[in-house]
Structure 1
Amino acid sequence: MADRGRARGVVATAVALVAALVLTGCVTLPREGPVEEGPAQVAADPAPRIIPDGPQENAAPDAVVRGWLTASAAFDDDYSVARSFLTAPAASSWRPGGRVVVVATGGLEVREVAAGPGRGDGATEPTAGERRTVTVRAPLLGVVDDRGRWTSAEPRTPYTVDVTVVRVSGAWRITELPDEVVVSRNFFDQQYGAFQLQHLSPDGRALVPETRWFPQRQATATLLVSELLSTGDRSAWLADAVSTAFPVGTTLLSDPPAVPVEGTTAVVDLSAEARTAPPEQRLLMQAQVTATLRGVPGVTDVRLAAEGSALTLPPGTADVLDDPVVTGTPVVVEGGRLARLDGEGVEILGGVPDLAGRRPRLPAVAGDVLAVLVDDRTGMVVVRLPRDAATVPDGTAAGAAGGALEVVTPGTDLVGPSVDRFGWAWTARSGAGDDAGLVAADADGDVAKVDAPWLADRRVHALQVSRDGARVAVLSTDAAGTPGTVQLRVAGVERSPGGSPARVEVAGDPLPGLVDALDVTWVDGQTVAVLGRVRGQDGADPDSRLRLLEVAVDGSVVRSTDVPQDAVRVTSAKGRSTVLLETAGGLLQRSGGSFVPRPGAAGVDASFPG
């Protein structure tokens, strides 16, 4: 526990040292300075250094608060300039690393609540010890906690905080303020980066990303590795869905923790526990750290050490899925038969039991397992395909041919299935009681009820499991399907030792403005796409236009694209360019900022593998 506490403290302290950004006011960017020798090939910090002004003579209370907000952008010397706007006790106690509040660019208001004597009438000077209140208001977008985790705000949520100033030695100084930093979205995007902590799936076969927002500086390597090793403090929704290759108790060796960058190599020196890992496990440790430090400025390589000496690794790299590429083509229903879509048309899938007369709908495939709804969505068939019939994502093994037609999951109005990399086909049953909710089945006829307490009073409308198998995206409404009750949730998947899904733990709401949704798909390991509608700019009335909403799993980024209003389904391989839309007029593919007909497309219910 002491080691985990130390790691958490280091993260909070480091965030505090570099967390703040400019909201408003004047700052200076350095244009010149001494030439210093240093290690070759070390990348410069991508974010510009900010040099703010200190308190101005005769500044009014609201001007002092504005100056403090601006100066909070300067992280040098533990916010020394920002602290100069505070009284001595407040400067000593202020802890800006508690959280980062991100507000809309523009719309910031800083206003004194009541002017009081000596303000504006020119008749009375303020007296020593006199206190004033200044209110800061802005539209709230989200909050980043001291671990780098983003939480989205409901649309049109106001951020309001009162700051107290006091007259000290003939000047106004801040005496009461929150332990946080308030930043605009523009400066947040310039100074912060979305980094991915790369957890390991419990079977050791896939990396599972979790987004954390940290300043884009080389010190970020220390923050990320510290968080990666703090396994006891994982985000609750992922805690039982992921694992780690690092032996229990492994920490960074130095105190305080540090990951120095030598040239372009991050040196990760670990405690003695790291040496207890067998060779293959060390490769997984290397894979986790290397993938986690991708994108850190100036870091292109990683060297693991333990107690100051290099950690011996076997040749090669770990065989793990890392946001795998989908190499197969979409599966469709064409004329009541299952087919796959290629560049020239459709090719009927071989090795599939005869579904004539069973009205197949909404097929899904991963590896050698195919699932499809039949009989007006009252049953799900799961079969194992011959090797040459399956369209296979990279890293997913195909099995032997076989499989007979068998409805393994009866139900009412079943949700379109999603097949995970373990060969389990997920769907959801409507209704009430023990039979309702999430369920999964495999090609051997085994059925698993998936525990999801957060869906107890809700109805699932669409779902898809991520290609790492550790997360699932779910669209649901209340039990009656009431308009305006739709929610998007991404949940961590807890599995039994044999790989069957057992329970899903929900995360926060990544898209709180959603009011209607038709379908959801994974675009990559950090992004899901929703075909839906969101609230209008006034925050009250729904935006009537259907849009493609590409949403970061944590909700920190949402991209909106206009789509044809008759679109009904969406599917994607990997990357925004692979997104396909199904409309009444056929299948559309992305072309720049719009969607155009896909050449040779035929059939309905297109679904990429995985």
Structure 2
Amino acid sequence: MGSDFRGKRKRAGGGRGARTSALLACGGFLVAGCATMPDSGDVRDVKASNPGDSQVRVYAVQPRENAEPDEIVDGFLEAMTSDDPGFATARTYLTKQAARTWRPAQSITVLTTAPDREQADRLADPENQGRSYPIRGRQIATVDSRHAYQPVNPVEYKDFIHVVQQPAADGKGKEWRIDHLPPGLVLSEADFQRNYRSVNKYYFASGEDWVVADPVYIRQRQDPATRMDPVTQTVKALLEGPTNWLKPSVDSRFPSGTQLKAGVTSLATDDQSTLKVPLNAKADRVGGEVCRRMAAQLLFTLGGLTSVRVEQVELQRSDGERLCVLSKAQAEEFAPVRDSGRAENPFFVDEDGTLMAMPVGGKADTPGDETPGPFGKGRMPLRSVAVDRDESRAAGVSKDGKELRVASILSDQELRPALLTSRAARPEDRLSAPSWDGRGDLWAADRDPSKPRLWVVPDGEGEPVEVRAPWLTDGVRVESLRVSADGVRIALLLKEKDGDTTLRIGRVEREGGGARPAVAVVDLQPVAPRMEAVTSVSWAGPSRLVVVGKEAGGVQQIRYVQTDGATSTASILPGLNGVTAVSAPHDDRAPVVAYSGNDGIVRLETGANWQRMVKVLGSSPVYPG
């Protein structure tokens, strides 16, 4: 065998003039339209609707004296997009009462473009001579107070901003100010992506000793509300606990109430790349093993920040004394997938239904390698396959879709009896392609229209357990599935009654142990609501999926999507026609592989284009999982 299997803004709005923005190229500063133009440096136009550079900075400008109500509303909408500490300048557009009660950290409403401010409806407030300005847009997401991103099917957003006249600060005359505004922040998608970045917090799977990624959003630079730098924001978010969606299935090893020591707004590594994290008294009495796991949560969480290199973490008591120290290498014991030191191997099923391996570093148009064991010998021709994360066993669905069996891919042995059998009449209504989680449990769906079901086989052998799935009603069935390495989340392609296929992510909940635990998949969330037809999905790391689908009226795309549903234009992979299957490795050391009806099995190396990978005809390319 040639491969080794064993390891392992033009903001629109009635009555609003065109806004001119200027960028100081040498400093990367975006200046609001009402600001004074700089008298030195290169100047060029910038559209805030450009997804653009995260280094661009928007500076809020205070309202001018005797500003008209239109200017107050427009200036406030601009100021919301800035990094102004405490949003102090934005608050100058508000009445004293509104400034006291506005909570910009409460939530973020994300719109496709900047909010469209319409002309004031003067009839809406005839008594006190105020002005009511409707604002509209297409909402695509919300971010809650726990920093969790939640996509929505694009819907019309409507709210209003109301302005009144109040005595001016100098006691002479009156000034227009806002006394009613939408809750939190209202930002365009471009402004949101410029100001915020995704980070993974990590918590332990309930009852287990490995970590689970929990994506949230923090500010790219200093947080206006807390004055914290990105590293400190990230640590604070971790200590606040998991997001509401993930919370039922994970645990934090930090004692309840643990926070950063009062007054800490900046954390930086020393010359040994050690990050010292001072905690409050809630953590003073933790033991060594608990502290190690606390430090592991921090190391995994900080590992996703490109702005800092953390090789080890030192946790400190409230008096500054050391609690424990843990290195990045030591934290690896808590990873859901251990780093074997080499790239993962992709597999596929050839035209005869034989399980084959693809040497990841091989040349284009290689023949592939037969795997040892029954599936490599063709004793049961396969329709689809999944290889466990140790690359020691494979689960295969027979060519007619009726049976699911498990066999070794390290040595030859007798083929074991079927674990699952579908009674559906048509092959396309029978068993889905299987999937392994990092626990060694095997998952598959029976797509029988008369009784669609979801199954898990503990340890990949023994008696299958029917998974409680209350959403499998009214003609809904699981077309395909992929389980995360941590076993806590499952990506599902659901075929609806109307024939549309949508992508959802569910939370796996387990009760009891032994050979037959009670397992449920609940609280399904949309992942790619703007995609109307999804044909394939694969995990591509701890909190990212690679998805094949298309948006309404668009062409097929292959793109990366965060498990919370967040996307960016940079996530789109090079085009490839006729893709029906895609698979990605757990890390980025191996290429993405796909099956195209036009090109066969292909791979995509970083920075390259798609390239045909194997010479023989085949389908169902998969990485372990």
TM-score class, shorter: 0.7 to 0.9
Kept after mapping to 1: 8 A contact 2:200/2:304? no
Tell me the equivalent position of 1:269. 278
Q: Which amino acid aligns with 2:96?
A: A
TM-aligned CA distance change 1:221 to 1:575, over 3 Å = same
- 1:607 to partner: Cα distance: 1.2
- 1:65 to partner: Cα distance: 0.1
Aligned with residue 552 of structure 1, among 548, 562, 581: 562
TM-aligned CA distance change 1:502 to 1:277, over 3 Å = farther
Which structure 2 residues correspond to residues 140-219 of structure 1 after superposition, within 5 A?
A: 140-155=139-154, 157-168=155-166, 169-202=173-206, 204-217=208-221, 219=228
- 1:463 to partner: Cα distance: 0.7
- Report the Cα distance in structure 2 between the residues aligned to 1:424 and 1:572, rounded to whole angstroms: 20
- 1:435 to partner: Cα distance: 6.7
Q: Which amino acid aligns with 1:331?
A: F
Tell me the equivalent position of 1:7. none
Matched, 1:589 2:603: yes
Tell me the equivalent position of 2:394. 370
Which structure 2 residues correspond to residues 75-474 of structure 1 after superposition, within 5 A?
A: 75-105=83-113, 108-114=115-121, 129-155=128-154, 157-168=155-166, 169-202=173-206, 204-217=208-221, 219=228, 220-231=230-241, 234-246=242-254, 248-249=255-256, 251-252=258-259, 254-255=261-262, 260-261=267-268, 266-272=275-281, 274=283, 276-296=285-305, 299-301=308-310, 302-307=313-318, 308-313=320-325, 317-318=330-331, 319-321=333-335, 327-334=343-350, 335-342=352-359, 343=362, 344-352=366-374, 356=378, 358-366=380-388, 367=390, 368-386=392-410, 404-411=415-422, 412=424, 413-431=430-448, 436-440=453-457, 442-457=459-474, 458-474=476-492
Alpha-carbon RMSD across the aligned residues, in angstroms, is 3.5
- Report the Cα distance in structure 1 between the residues aligned to 2:367 and 2:206, rounded to whole angstroms: 40
Q: Secondary structure at the match of 1:67?
A: helix
- Report the Cα distance in structure 2 between the residues aligned to 1:242 and 1:100, rounded to whole angstroms: 25
Q: How many correspondences in the alignment?
A: 542
TM-aligned CA distance change 1:454 to 1:329, over 3 Å = same
- 1:262 to partner: Cα distance: 6.2
Kept after mapping to 1: 8 A contact 2:354/2:375? no
- Report the Cα distance in structure 1 between the residues aligned to 2:542 and 2:64, rounded to whole angstroms: 49
TM-aligned CA distance change 1:577 to 1:96, over 3 Å = same
Q: Secondary structure at the match of 1:524?
A: coil
TM-score of the pair, normalised by structure 2: 0.77
- Report the Cα distance in structure 1 between the residues aligned to 2:69 and 2:552, rounded to whole angstroms: 37
- 1:380 to partner: Cα distance: 0.2
Higher mean alpha-carbon deviation, 78-87 vs 49-58, is at 49-58
- Report the Cα distance in structure 2 between the residues aligned to 1:384 and 1:410, rounded to whole angstroms: 20
- Report the Cα distance in structure 2 between the residues aligned to 1:597 and 1:327, rounded to whole angstroms: 19
- Report the Cα distance in structure 1 between the residues aligned to 2:141 and 2:449, rounded to whole angstroms: 35
Tell me the equivalent position of 1:514. 531
Tell me the equivalent position of 2:3. none
- 1:67 to partner: Cα distance: 0.8
- Report the Cα distance in structure 2 between the residues aligned to 1:314 and 1:189, rounded to whole angstroms: 33
- 1:417 to partner: Cα distance: 0.5
- Report the Cα distance in structure 2 between the residues aligned to 1:594 and 1:358, rounded to whole angstroms: 35
Kept after mapping to 2: 8 A contact 1:27/1:50? no
Kept after mapping to 1: 8 A contact 2:31/2:58? no
TM-aligned CA distance change 1:26 to 1:409, over 3 Å = farther
- Report the Cα distance in structure 1 between the residues aligned to 2:216 and 2:460, rounded to whole angstroms: 37
Question: 5+ unaligned residues in a row in structure 2: which ranges?
Answer: 1-28, 41-53, 167-172, 223-227, 425-429
Q: Which amino acid aligns with 1:290?
A: L
- 1:190 to partner: Cα distance: 2.1
Aligned with residue 570 of structure 1, among 562, 567, 582: 582
Kept after mapping to 2: 8 A contact 1:546/1:562? no
- 1:113 to partner: Cα distance: 3.0
- 1:82 to partner: Cα distance: 1.5
TM-aligned CA distance change 1:460 to 1:116, over 3 Å = closer
TM-aligned CA distance change 1:306 to 1:465, over 3 Å = same
Q: Secondary structure at the match of 1:79?
A: helix
- 1:160 to partner: Cα distance: 2.3
Kept after mapping to 2: 8 A contact 1:206/1:322? yes
TM-aligned CA distance change 1:438 to 1:23, over 3 Å = farther
Tell me the equivalent position of 1:35. none
TM-aligned CA distance change 1:599 to 1:376, over 3 Å = closer
Q: Which amino acid aligns with 1:515?
A: E
- Report the Cα distance in structure 2 between the residues aligned to 1:375 and 1:299, rounded to whole angstroms: 50
- Report the Cα distance in structure 1 between the residues aligned to 2:406 and 2:487, rounded to whole angstroms: 18
- Report the Cα distance in structure 2 between the residues aligned to 1:402 and 1:272, rounded to whole angstroms: 58
Q: Which amino acid aligns with 1:142?
A: A
Q: Which amino acid aligns with 1:518?
A: T
1:327-363 Cα offsets, whole Å, 9 max, x none, are 3322222323222122232211112368746431111
1:52-95 Cα offsets, whole Å, 9 max, x none, are 22112443322210011122344545322222212222222222
Kept after mapping to 2: 8 A contact 1:29/1:51? no
- Report the Cα distance in structure 2 between the residues aligned to 1:194 and 1:341, rounded to whole angstroms: 33
Kept after mapping to 2: 8 A contact 1:369/1:419? no
- Report the Cα distance in structure 1 between the residues aligned to 2:567 and 2:530, rounded to whole angstroms: 13
TM-aligned CA distance change 1:602 to 1:26, over 3 Å = farther
- Report the Cα distance in structure 2 between the residues aligned to 1:296 and 1:529, rounded to whole angstroms: 21
- 1:504 to partner: Cα distance: 2.0
- 1:549 to partner: Cα distance: 3.2
